[in-house]
Amino acid sequence: MSERILLVDDNHIQSATRRAILEGCGQEVSVAPNGQQALGLLNDPETAETIGLIITDHLMPVMTGREFVGELRQRGFTLPVVVLSGFPDAEACYEGLNIVFRLKPFDPASLIQLVRDLLGECMRRSA
| pLDDT digits 0-9 by tens, 74-98 | 999 999 999 999 999 999 999 999 9
| pLDDT tens series, the chain, 127 aa | 457 999 999 999 999 999 999 999 899 999 999 999 999 999 999 999 999 999 999 999 999 999 999 999 999 999 999 999 999 999 999 999 999 999 998 899 999 999 999 988 654 444 4
Contact assessment for residue 82 and residue 97, using Cβ atoms and an 8 Å cutoff: no
The closest alpha carbon to 122, from 51, 42, 66, belongs to: 51
Contact assessment for residue 104 and residue 84, using Cβ atoms and an 8 Å cutoff: yes
The pLDDT value recorded for residue 121 is 60
Domains and CATH numbers, the chain: 4-126 (3.40.50.2300)
d(CA 55, CA 29): 10
DSSP conformation class of 93: G
